[in-house]
Amino acid sequence: MAWPDGTGRAVGTPLQPSVVYGAESPDALDAIYEGRETGFTYAREAHPNAALLAAKVDALEGLSGGIATGSGMAAVSCAIMGLVEAGDHVIGGDQLYGRSLRMMTDELPRMGVATTRVDPTNAAAVKAAIRPETKLILVEVVSNPTLRIADIDGIAAVAKEAGILLVVDNTFTTPRGIRPARHGADIVIHSVTKLLAGHSDATLGYVCATDPALNERMRVFAVTLGLTASPFDCWLAERGIFTFEMRYDRAEASAALLADHIADLPGVTKVLYPGRADHPDHARAQTLLKGRNGNMVTFEVAGGREAANRLVRAAPNIAFAPTLGDVATTLSHPATSSHRGLTPEGRAELGLSEGSFRVSVGMEPPELLCAEFEAAIRAAQG
Ligand SMILES: *Cc1c(COP(=O)(O)O)cnc(C)c1O
């Protein structure tokens, strides 16, 4: 991808932290504002590192005109708050990322936007939730941490028939797993923080609509609310994307090995991985995701919180941290992090207990990873 203003001669991408850009003349400034010339004026509006990052994610998604935002949640905000009005209704998946769920339950109602949560594995349930004032549907392809796979094709058909925007958060699945726009999504979102940037050192998002007018609306919203991205973070993420596909493939292959390895260990009561035949959405993962089953594995050990504490203490080389998509494997415990807001009964309804863990598999040699988890799982059983 070429450096946007054509001045870059270095092989490495230049980092441009400047907040302001001088113009040659009022005529030249006019030309930039009217889009007749490419150029930059003020970093909150646009800057080269953000433009380059957005173009790279565009290329991965097969889209154009995407916007780099200061976080994944800034991208969600652009797509939802940037496009709805008081009186509208929004449908969201019932297992969305925690903060997206908070937007549905707290922020949107506060602004006069009604919301409904539905199970996105069931397109008929989505259809039944549609009202005359429904404006958009937000779903993630794979739910966290239960790894259920949404019926994207079914929901896209329902949304199209009703003239409703379909917004797909593709953070977990990435363009390696699915390009949602090819399945009828109107808007695609990423937390670039996760697999795309890949090193847990940049907080960023990306949002892009297939309709240029919607992109323009979201861009104005992002600039007005100050949701735009930092040059340094964009620079880091753009560098990370050079290895994204290799990282994804490696992590996915290791995740498949790890899931099978731990499934047979004593004390393991459940393993969820879309590549396994016992996963409830195994068939859909093979058709919709073409067998790109991802780098996330969820499992449960017997023995509740005590066993969970022992497991984490016995895995000193695995970061116990509620994130995903890093080059290093990370382990999260939904009951004390992403799902701590639910009651034990609410978690049980999702099939989660104090013994449930989610692994985001990284780049370590898979045999070391399997050995580390095996030792920790054995230690958990006391
Ligand atoms: C992390 C995440 C987000 C939010 O991204 P941030 O960069 O942390 O703001 C949104 N959706 C999903 C699926 C995520 O995993």
At 35 the pLDDT is 86
| Rounded (5°) CA angle 110-116-121 | 145
Start-end of H helices in the chain = 26-33, 48-61, 72-80, 98-102, 108-110, 123-129, 152-162, 174-177, 212-225, 231-241, 244-263, 282-288, 304-313, 344-349, 366-380
Segment 99-148, tens digit of pLDDT: 999 999 999 999 999 999 999 999 999 999 999 999 999 999 999 999 99
CA–CA distance, 268 with 355 (Å, rounded to integer): 9
At 357 the pLDDT is 98
CA–CA distance, 56 with 5 (Å, rounded to integer): 15
Q: Where are the domains of the chain?
A: 26-239, 244-380
| 26-239 CATH | 3.40.640.10
- Percent of the chain whose predicted confidence (pLDDT) is above 90: 94
**Ligand 1 lined by 169 (C-beta under 6 Å):** yes
- Percent of the chain whose predicted confidence (pLDDT) is above 70: 98
Provide the β-strand partners of residue 271.
299
CA–CA distance, 168 with 152 (Å, rounded to integer): 9
**Ligand 1 lined by 72 (C-beta under 6 Å):** yes
Residue 366's closest CA among 290, 297, 278, 292? 297
* DSSP letter, residue 107: I
- Report the pLDDT averaged over residues 38-56: 96
Q: Residue 52: pLDDT above 80? A: yes
Provide the β-strand partners of residue 296.
360
**Ligand 1 lined by 145 (C-beta under 6 Å):** no
Q: Residue 215: pLDDT above 60? A: yes
Q: Residue 210: pLDDT above 60? A: yes
Q: What is the residue type of 337?
A: S
Q: Which atom of ligand 1 is nearest to the CA of 205?
A: 7
Residue 190's closest CA among 172, 211, 178? 172
Task: Give the range among 3-17, 23-37, 265-279, 311-325 with minimum mean pLDDT.
Answer: 3-17
Q: How far is the CA of 241 from the centre of ligand 1 (A)?
A: 17
At 1 the pLDDT is 65
Q: How far is the CA of 44 from the centre of ligand 1 (A)?
A: 21
Highest mean pLDDT out of 28-42, 50-64, 331-345: 50-64
Q: Is the dihedral of CA 229, 64, 295, 167 positive or negative?
A: positive
Provide the β-strand partners of residue 272.
298
- CATH number of 244-380, picked from 3.30.70.890, 3.90.1150.10, 3.40.50.300, 1.10.3720.10: 3.90.1150.10
Best residue among 101, 144, 171 to mutate for probing ligand 1, ranked by most atoms within 8 Å of CB? 171
* DSSP letter, residue 181: G
Q: Which own/partner contact pairs does 183-187 have at CB distance under 8 Å and 24+ positions apart?
A: 183/152, 183/153, 183/156, 183/288, 184/152, 184/153, 184/156, 184/157, 184/159, 184/160, 185/152, 185/156, 185/210, 186/159, 186/210, 186/211, 186/214, 187/79, 187/136, 187/214
Whole-number average pLDDT of the chain = 96
User: Is the pTM here over 0.85, yes or no?
Assistant: yes
Q: How far is the CA of 285 from the centre of ligand 1 (A)?
A: 22
Q: How far is the CA of 193 from the centre of ligand 1 (A)?
A: 7
Segment 138-186, tens digit of pLDDT: 999 999 999 999 999 999 999 999 999 999 999 999 999 999 999 999 9
**Ligand 1 lined by 143 (C-beta under 6 Å):** no
